Each structure stands twice: as C-alpha cells, then as structure tokens.
Amino acid sequence: MSKTALIIVDLQNDYFKGGKWELEGTEAATIKAASLLKRFREKGLPVVHVRHEFPTVDAPFFAPSSEGVKVCPSVQEVEGEAVVIKHQINSFRETNLKEILDKLDIDSLIICGAMSHMCIDAVTRAATDFGYTCSVAHDACATLALDFEGVHVPAKQVHAAFMAALGFAYANVVSTEKLLVDI
C-alpha cells in the first residue's frame, strides 16, 4: 500500500501582495494548499514543509530573518511536522528531504506551493527521478509572468505550460478537489 506525504513548498510572505517577489494567484493557491494540509492532519498523514531562505541578507527575496521569509500562517508547520530549509531551487539539493521521506517510508508525494515554473517543477522532477510517485495539485500552486526574447508570457500560460510538461511524464497533475476525494 502506498504511503503518501504532502510537500508544501515556499508559500512564504515575499510571494504575497506587498512582498518582494509577488506572484499571481498566491492567495488562491494557499487556500487550496491549506485544505490539503487540513486533510493530511485530520488523517494523521505526514507533511513536509519546505522553506526557501537565501544565505545572505542582500538577497532579492527570502532574506534570512526577514518578514518575507516567514511562511504564510494558514500553512505553517505545527509541532511534529518536518521542515526543510533550502538554499537552492530543488528542494532535494543539499537538504535532508530525501532522508526524511525515506525514514517515513514514503513512496508517493502530493506537491503544492510556489513557484510553478521553478521550485515546483524542480522538486517534482527530482522526486520522480528518486522513484516517488508524484501528484501536483495544480490549483494549489502559483507563479508569475515571464519574458523571453521579447515575448511576454502571462502567469496563467507559464503555469499551464509547466503543469502540462509535468503531467506528460513526471506527475499526476490534478485539482485539489480531486486529491481531497482520494486522501
């Protein structure tokens, strides 16, 4: 039988309105992530909180000891839940995330958070490469608009492109509502 953990990635103050690196849809994504977190807690299932913190105070966002680095209250960890502090985009790189998951005998992950095109993409691909079965709650993720070679790509399209790519070969990409039915 599958043992599943929820991974909540980088839902930190700097990604919200007024933060140093505001994303589109962070509030809505966090509401969905909070519903997953609530269900996991009700069922006594494992949760891992991932928080990005740059190593220097002159970071563009997520500076150590800043208000921006703090996790949104609705998805903050409680005693007994694992917390991983990362300094890289990939939540597995130079962290104890894999060790935590292995100790819990996890083989399946539900992933949510930010940014869709960076940290969510990286953790999902890495997790799949490590052999975990992954699901991404697409509506519990947020991102921002990007520009490339004079082309402006709205956040909605950035998000859709990355969810489509993950859904092609790396994860089951579904709504929070669908995941809640199956938990």
Which tokens hold the place of 28? 């809505």
Global pTM reads: 0.96
Domains of the chain, CATH where assigned: 4-182 (3.40.50.850)
pLDDT tens track for 153-173: 999 999 999 999 999 999 999
Q: 3-state DSSP call for residue 39?
A: helix
Task: Report the C-alpha gap between 127 and 65 in whole angstroms.
Answer: 29
Least Cα distance to 129 among 148, 146, 109, 150 occurs for 109
Q: What is the pLDDT of residue 1?
A: 39
Residue 60 carries which side chain, given as an amino acid letter? P
CB-based burial label for 91 (10 Å; 0-12, 13-18, 19+): buried
Dump pLDDT digits (tens) for 27-84: 999 999 999 999 999 999 999 999 999 999 899 999 999 999 999 999 999 999 999 9
